[in-house]
Structure 1
Amino acid sequence: MAAGLGVNMCADLWSFALSTYARSGCEAACLRLQAQGANVCLLLCGAWLEQRGVTPTPERMQALQDIARPWQKEVVEPLRQVRVQWRAMAQQDEPLAALRERVKALEQEAERQLLTRLETLTQAWPIGESEDQQGWLEGLATEAANLDHDALQSLRAMATGT
């Protein structure tokens, strides 16, 4: 672990994402960002990279987006659409509710696989390059129209534990 990095810093992106998402208010902030077109897995990766002191560059951001965009579009979003589409019907239909839970588990596994792919890409990037690397979230969220900057700052605060 690089000098200066907090002892509570999660070594892997999946653990970081789980611990950050579990914090009070994080789910709501992430859902607001997701509703505006942001890729939450990409934002969690950005928050993780900020915490690790990895310098944000346009090339690195593009490389992350090149991995995340097709996986999100072709794998995660179709699963999410099915899960959301079944929400109302599943409230009155036990077998459908059970299937919906299985789709939700697949969606979560697809997100975990995306986070693993993103982490693999970043493994060669030096950590601890700087104490203040607050460009990742804004840079990775640029595709989301009318982005909720309050939600973005909330995510950053929850990721750093402040």
Structure 2
Amino acid sequence: MSQFTGNPFWDYSLVHYGRPEVARACLELQEDVGANVNLVLFCCWLGSSGQVLTVQDLDEAEEIIRDWNEQVVEPLRGVRRFVQSEFAGFADQEWPQDVKQLELRAERVVQNRLCNWWRTKCGSSTDTDRDDRRKLSGEEQLQNLNLYLSRTSDIAIHSGSPLAWPLASAKPKN
């Protein structure tokens, strides 16, 4: 399980996605334009520390997670949705929760792959927890998000979006 330790992207995502308005925005993008929620969160995480993605970066990121998404995450999501609808109203809700936890573990693998790839690509300059971070306007998040979304839609995210959120606000409580 050591592959699941030390991932600041996962820590950021837990807090950021834990905000109901962020979860809602992510799921709307997933349903409306087929956006990958992990890539949406990746764009937010990097942008929140001033890091800007390129088209080539997004191509590489999508390639790194494609097989795992298609073979594991998406099928588990389908199973979870089916099980939730079939178990609606049943007293025993343990099984649907088990499937949901398995899906979350699969999502965490995706985020580990993205985080490890970015760390390897950028070396030690990927420290998003540094204390000397300048004040960020959120423009980098918007730039990353809009570059990603422009690949499949004409949707644009604007500065009032809950997706644009400072990294300092997304620190997990210890």
Common fold, TM-score beyond 0.5? yes
Contact 1:29-1:154 within 8 A present in 2 as well: yes
In structure 1, runs of 5+ residues without a counterpart are: 1-10
In structure 2, runs of 5+ residues without a counterpart are: 1-6, 129-133, 170-174
Match of 2:82 among 67, 82, 85: 85
* CA RMSD across the alignment: 3.0
For 1:3, the equivalent position in structure 2 comes to none
How many residues align? The count is 152
Contact 2:9-2:115 within 8 A present in 1 as well: yes
Closer/same/farther in 2, CA of residues 133 and 149 from structure 1, 3 Å limit: closer
Contact 1:41-1:115 within 8 A present in 2 as well: yes
Instruction: Please list, as runs of the form range in 1=range in 2, the aligned pairs for 1:70-81 lying within 5 A after superposition.
Output: 70-81=67-78
The whole-number CA distance in structure 2 between the counterparts of 1:122 and 1:15 is 16
DSSP 3-state at the match of 2:164? helix
For 2:113, the equivalent position in structure 1 comes to 117
Letter in 1 for 2:17: Y
For 2:3, the equivalent position in structure 1 comes to none
Letter in 2 for 1:17: S
For 1:139, the equivalent position in structure 2 comes to 147
Letter in 2 for 1:49: L
> Percent identity, aligned pairs only?
28
Match of 2:13 among 17, 22, 26: 17
Aligned-pair distance for 1:74?
A: 1.5
The whole-number CA distance in structure 2 between the counterparts of 1:43 and 1:88 is 27
For 2:27, the equivalent position in structure 1 comes to 31
For 1:51, the equivalent position in structure 2 comes to 48
